[in-house]
Chains A and B, each alone.
Chain A
Amino acid sequence: MASKTIKLKAKAGNGEVTVKTLIKHPMETGRRKDKDTGKVVPAHFIQEVTCTHKGEPVMTTEWGPTISKNPFLSFKFTGGAAGEEIELSWKDNTGDSDSATAKIS
């Protein structure tokens, strides 16, 4: 499944799978003021990211607005092999969400 916001890569090696992901998201804190209008830009940030492999969640993370814009995340898990699929999804504070799948290489 192609995703417009998630770039996802997973690589197997040394008995573990390294997952790297880049998510396109503004990660607005709700404290920044718009330079032109002087109005506060409303908070808009990812709150939850989950990664599953074979139907089992391998990683769940909760984020605040102080994770950098267009977040990068990397983690490792065991028990995965090349050719298998992983799925990663996010949800933000406005209720938006997206998910992507990638084959472990």
Chain B
Amino acid sequence: MSTDTKRRLFLKASLSAGAVGMAVGAGMLAPGVVLAAWNTEAFSAETIGDALKEGLGSDTSTDSAEVTMVVPDSPENGAVVPVEVTTTLPGVQSIALLVEKNPRPLCGSFHPGKRMKPWVSIRVKVSESSEIIAVVKAGDKLYSARQAVKVTIGGCA
């Protein structure tokens, strides 16, 4: 290897190290901003009611045929359970996904922009056979769909 190539390699390595350093530096500044936005209370809630109250502002939801959820009945591996939620309700403010028997039921909540269609597809962890609940907030009211799933291998949620 010629000196020139070595120097190039060295330059390349030090440049990428610099980029990593900068990324870490930027990360150090970010947590305050991130945590301010993230709903800690809702995600650490241990019951469905508390999670809904903290996350969507009310702990009562009505089961509605206008909310549809597609989940396999027995997904076997609880670590990766595909869930698809869609609704025909107008004015969707948010969509939340909960797994009843997980230690912390709330998996995620979506806040659609004006142009997003009320349809999401995602994969969640299910710790033991449980009911999965999709809750849609529209017109300040909560509508839900639920389905029981059977898992043979728990998802360590």
Residues of A within 8 A of B (CB): 16, 29, 31-32, 47-48, 53, 56-69, 71-80, 91-97
Q: Closest CB-CB distance, B33 to chain A, in whole Å?
A: 8
CA distance A31 to B104 in the complex (A): 11
Give the distance in Å from the alpha carbon of A47 to the alpha carbon of B30 in the complex: 12
Any A CB within 8 A of the CB of B121: yes
Q: How far is the CA of A31 from the CA of B111 in the complex (A)?
A: 27
**Could you say which residues of chain A place their CB within 8 Å of the CB of B102?**
66
The listed residue with most A CB atoms (<10 A of its CB), out of B108, B124, B156, is B108
Complex contacts, A56 vs chain B, CB 8 Å: 113-115
Which A residues touch B79, using CB under 8 A? 68-69
Q: Is B12 an interface position by the 8 A CB rule?
A: no
B112 at the interface (CB under 8 A from A): yes
Q: Which residues of B contact A66 (CB under 8 A)?
A: 99, 102, 104, 106-108, 124-125, 155, 157
B109: contacting residue among A29, A58, A62, A97, CB under 8 A: A62
A32: which B residues are within 8 A, CB to CB? Answer: 156
For B122, give the chain A residue with the smallest CB separation: A73
Instruction: Report the bound CA distance from A60 to B94 in whole Å.
Output: 10
Contact indicator A63/B116 (Cβ below 8 Å) = no
Considering the complex, which residues of chain B in the window 73-95 have a beta carbon less than 8 Å from any beta carbon of chain A?
79-82
**Complex: how many Å from CA A79 to CA B115?**
7
Determine the chain B residues whose CB is within 8 A of the CB of A16 once the complex forms. 117
B125 touches A59 (CB 8 A): no
Known A16-B117, A75-B117, A91-B30; judge A67-B109 contact (CB<8 A).
Answer: no
